[in-house]
Structure 1
Amino acid sequence: MPPRDDEMTLMEMLVTLSRGRGLIVLSVLGMGLLGLAYSMSLPTEYTATAKVVREAGEDGGGGLPGGLGGLSQGLGINIGGSSVGLTPGSYPEIATSREVRLAVARDTFYFPSTGRRTTFVDHVNQPVGLWGRVLDYTLYLPWTLKGALGTFMQGMKDTPGTKDRSAGTDSTGTVIYPTDEEERAIQVLGGKISTSIAGSGALEEGSGLMTISTTSKDPMLAARLNEHVIEHLRTRVREIRTENTRKSLQFIEERFKEVDQELDAAEERLSQFLERNRSVLSGGNEPQLEFRRERLRREVRFKEQLYSQFQEQVTQMRLQLQKEQPVVTTAERPTPPTGPNAQSGTLYVVLALFLGGLFGAGGAFLRAVIQKRQNEEQNREQIREVQRSWTPSEILKGVQEELGIRKSS
C-alpha cells in the first residue's frame, strides 16, 4: 500500500538526518562536555576490603549444657529448642543490617575533611558549607530534590505524636529507636558498606569466606570503617548465637532462687518442729511426731538435692557463656587502599554522547516536521488563491487592472 501523507519513508528519514547533521553534532558535543564535566566533578573514593570466615558453630549457641535437658524434663520444664537458626548464609545480611550500621554510626572516627574526631552521626549532620550548597543546587540538584521529596512524604505520613519521638527515647530517657540524625547516618552507611561471598558452592553453603567492603573519600577512614563493621558484626552474631543460652540461664537462675527460698523454708520448718518437740522426741513414745519429723527431713533432703542440681547447671551455663568465642574470624585484615577506585567517568561520557545523539536526531526530525507543516500551509494558501482568482469578481478585477482602471493589489 502507498504510504500515507504523514508517514516518512526510509529515504526521507536519511535525508532528514543528513540535513540535521550540524544540529546532531552540536548536541553530541554539548552533552559530551556536560558528561565530562560531571565525571570530573565526582569525588575520589577509596574502598577497603577484608575477608572473614563465617563459622556456623556446633549447636547454634543455644544448646543446653549436659544434664539440663533431663533435669528440665523431670521437672516438667519446657525451655525450648537448642538452635536459633543462625547459618553462614545469614552473615551478609547481618553485616549490612540496621543494627550494625547504627552501631558503626555511633562510633568516633577521624575525618580528614574536617580535621577533627567525631561520631559518624555528627559528621553526616554537620552544616553544609557554601560550596556544598552550590553543588546541591547545581550538579546534585536531582538528588537534592529526591531527598526533599522523601522528607516531605515522610512528614505527611507522620502522626501528630511522632514529633515527640524524634528524640529516640521513651519517658525514662532510654533510647528505643534511632533519632532523625542517626537515621540519616544509617542511610549514608547503607551506600558505603557491601558484602560478597565466595562463588564456590561448597564455600557458599558451608563456612566459607565473606568479603566486607567499605567506601570512603579517605583511604584511612575506609579501613577504620571496615574494622568497626567487623567488630560490630562479631558482637551482633555473638548476641544472636547466645540468645537462647542467655534466656535459659535467666530462667534457671530464677528457678534456682526459688529453690533456695524453698530450701530455707523447709529447713526452718524442720528446725522449728525439732525445737518445739525436743523433749517429747527424746522419749521416743510418739509415733506421729516421729513420722512428722521424717517427712520434714525428706523434704529438706529433696530440696537440698534439687538445690545442688540447679546450682551445678547454673555454674555450667555461666561457664558456657564465658567460653563463647567470636564466630567471625578475620582472615584478612582491612588495610588502607593504595589507590582510588576506578572512576566510572567513561560510562557517564558515553551515556552523555548517546543522549546527545538522541536529542540531536529528535531535534532534526522535529524541525523537519515543522518545516513540512509550513510548506503544506503555503501550498494550501496558493491553491486557495488560484480558486479565488477565477471567480467572476476576481476575473473582472483582473481585467480592470490590465486596462489600468484599477491598481493591482
Structure 2
Amino acid sequence: MINQEAPKQQVMEQPYYPDDEIDLRELFVTLWRGKWIIIFVTFVFAAAGVFYALSKPNMYQANVLLAPAQGESGGARLSGQLGGLVSLAGINLGGGGASQATMAKEVLQSRAFLADFVHRHNLSMSLMAVEAWNMESEQWVINTKVYNPQTNEWLTNEEGRSLEPTDWDIVKNFKTKLSMSDNKDSGMITLSVTSLSPQAAKSWAEKLVHDINEHMREQDVIEAEARIAYLEKKLNETNIAGMQQVFYQLIEGETRTVMLANAQSEYIFKTVDPAVVPQERSAPKRQLIAIVATMLGGMLGVFFVFVRAFIRSGKKESESV
C-alpha cells in the first residue's frame, strides 16, 4: 500500500508553473535578439537629445535677496490704534488686509505692472525680437525677420499686419523669466530674473526692485493724501471738541505716513544681497537633457522589441491552431 501511494504523492507535490509566468531566460533571449534595434533607437534619441541641447541658447539668472521693509500701511496702523474712535466718527480707513510686502509681491507679478515696466524701460525688443546675446560685442543678436534695428521698427507679415507684440504676449513672455520665492523661516524673498544676457538679467532685477518700491510708495502717498483731504472735510463739518481731536490725530498719522514714504529710499523691499552679473549659465541643462533622451530611447527600444516578440508569438499560436 505504501509503494502504491508514493507516486501519487510525488505527482501532487510537483510545482505548478502557469503558462503566463515570466521566464527571465526567455526575456533575456528576446532582448538579445533585438539588441541592434535597442542600440539603434537609443543612439537616435541620444543624438537628437544632444542636438536639441546644443541648439538651445544659454540662459543666465540674476538673483536679488530682499527683506520686507514694513509690515502694514499707515491706514491699517491708524485703524488699529484708533479703531474705536474711528468707528464712532463713522470713518472707514481700510486696513486689516494683506501686508505691504505681500501686496507688493502680487503687484510685481501683475499684468498691469509688468506691461508698464516693459514699456517704461523699452524692453519689448530685447524680450520679443532677439535670438541670442553676443558675449564678445555685448550686443543682442536681433531677429531681422520681425524687427528692423536700423529704423527701430517692427516689420509686417505677408498679410501686411504688424509683427509688434501685444501687451499680452510681452507679459506672458516676461513672466517665464521672472520668479519669486519666500523663505518661510527668515521671511526673506528671492527675486530671480532670467535672460539670454547676463547683464540684462542683472539690470532687469535691479529695475524691478526699484520700480516696485516706487510704485507702492506712490500708491500709499496718493491714498494717504486722499484720506487727509477726507478727514479735513469731516473736521470742518463737526463742532464737537472730542471728534475734532480724533480728526487731528488721524490727520497727523496720515501726514506721518506721507513723510515716511517720501523719506525712505527702499520703501517696501530692502536689498539684502544685490544682483550681480551671473558668470555661469542657469539653463539649459545640456547633460541632463542628453541623459534623459538616451534613457527614453533605451526604454522605447526595449518596448518595441517586446511588442514585436509578442506579435510574433501570437502569429505562431494562430498558425499552430
TM-score exceeds 0.5: yes
What is the TM-score of this pair, normalised by structure 1? 0.55
Aligned twin of 2:193 = 214
CA 1:15 to 1:249, structure 2 compared with 1: closer, same or farther past 3 Å? same
Matched, 1:351 2:292: yes
Amino acid at match of 1:38: Y
Aligned twin of 1:230 = 209
Aligned twin of 1:15 = 29
Aligned twin of 1:54 = 68
Aligned twin of 1:317 = 254
1:5-404 alignment to 2 at 5 Å? 9-57=23-71, 60-62=73-75, 63-64=77-78, 72=86, 76-86=89-99, 88=101, 92-108=105-121, 119-121=122-124, 123-126=126-129, 129=143, 181-198=166-183, 201=185, 203-204=186-187, 209-238=188-217, 245-255=224-234, 259=237, 302=239, 314=251, 317-324=254-261, 325=264, 326-341=267-282, 343-380=284-321
Preserved CA contact (<8 Å) 1:79 1:248: no
Provide Cα deviations, 1:185-217, integer angstroms capped at 9, x if missing partner. 111121111223346x2x23xxxx322111100
Preserved CA contact (<8 Å) 1:101 1:229: no
- Provide the C-alpha distance between the structure 1 equivalents of 2:205 and 2:280, rounded to a whole number of angstroms: 17
CA 1:212 to 1:306, structure 2 compared with 1: closer, same or farther past 3 Å? closer
Amino acid at match of 1:3: P
Classify the secondary structure of the residue corresponding to 1:335.
Answer: coil
Preserved CA contact (<8 Å) 1:48 1:335: yes
- Provide the C-alpha distance between the structure 2 equivalents of 1:131 and 1:364, rounded to a whole number of angstroms: 46
Aligned residues: 272
CA 1:13 to 1:239, structure 2 compared with 1: closer, same or farther past 3 Å? farther
Provide Cα deviations, 1:349-401, integer angstroms capped at 9, x if missing partner. 11111111111112211222333244345545xxxxxxxxxxxxxxxxxxxxx
Amino acid at match of 2:91: N
CA 1:249 to 1:180, structure 2 compared with 1: closer, same or farther past 3 Å? farther
Shift of 1:241: 5.5
Preserved CA contact (<8 Å) 2:66 2:189: yes
Q: Normalized per residue, which structure has more helix?
A: 1
Amino acid at match of 1:16: T
Structure 2: 5+ residue stretches without partners: 1-15, 132-142, 147-163
RMSD after superposition: 3.9
Amino acid at match of 2:18: P
- Provide the C-alpha distance between the structure 2 equivalents of 1:82 and 1:305, rounded to a whole number of angstroms: 23
- Provide the C-alpha distance between the structure 1 equivalents of 2:130 and 2:277, rounded to a whole number of angstroms: 28
- Provide the C-alpha distance between the structure 2 equivalents of 1:363 and 1:68, rounded to a whole number of angstroms: 75
Classify the secondary structure of the residue corresponding to 2:179.
Answer: strand
CA 1:51 to 1:215, structure 2 compared with 1: closer, same or farther past 3 Å? same
CA 1:12 to 1:329, structure 2 compared with 1: closer, same or farther past 3 Å? same
- Provide the C-alpha distance between the structure 2 equivalents of 1:126 and 1:254, rounded to a whole number of angstroms: 53
Provide Cα deviations, 1:244-285, integer angstroms capped at 9, x if missing partner. 6455324224435x64xx9xxxxxxxxxxxxxxxxxxxxxxx
Classify the secondary structure of the residue corresponding to 2:74.
Answer: coil
CA 1:254 to 1:30, structure 2 compared with 1: closer, same or farther past 3 Å? same
Preserved CA contact (<8 Å) 2:180 2:189: yes
Shift of 1:313: 5.9
Aligned twin of 2:18 = 3
- Provide the C-alpha distance between the structure 1 equivalents of 2:283 and 2:129, rounded to a whole number of angstroms: 29
CA 1:197 to 1:38, structure 2 compared with 1: closer, same or farther past 3 Å? same
Classify the secondary structure of the residue corresponding to 1:337.
Answer: coil
Aligned twin of 2:6 = none
Q: Percent identity?
A: 21
Classify the secondary structure of the residue corresponding to 2:18.
Answer: coil
Amino acid at match of 1:61: G
- Provide the C-alpha distance between the structure 1 equivalents of 2:35 and 2:248, rounded to a whole number of angstroms: 91
Shift of 1:16: 0.6
Classify the secondary structure of the residue corresponding to 1:106.
Answer: helix
CA 1:124 to 1:217, structure 2 compared with 1: closer, same or farther past 3 Å? closer
CA 1:330 to 1:99, structure 2 compared with 1: closer, same or farther past 3 Å? farther
- Provide the C-alpha distance between the structure 2 equivalents of 1:248 and 1:355, rounded to a whole number of angstroms: 63
Shift of 1:234: 1.4
Amino acid at match of 1:55: A
- Provide the C-alpha distance between the structure 2 equivalents of 1:15 and 1:96, rounded to a whole number of angstroms: 57
CA 1:304 to 1:37, structure 2 compared with 1: closer, same or farther past 3 Å? same
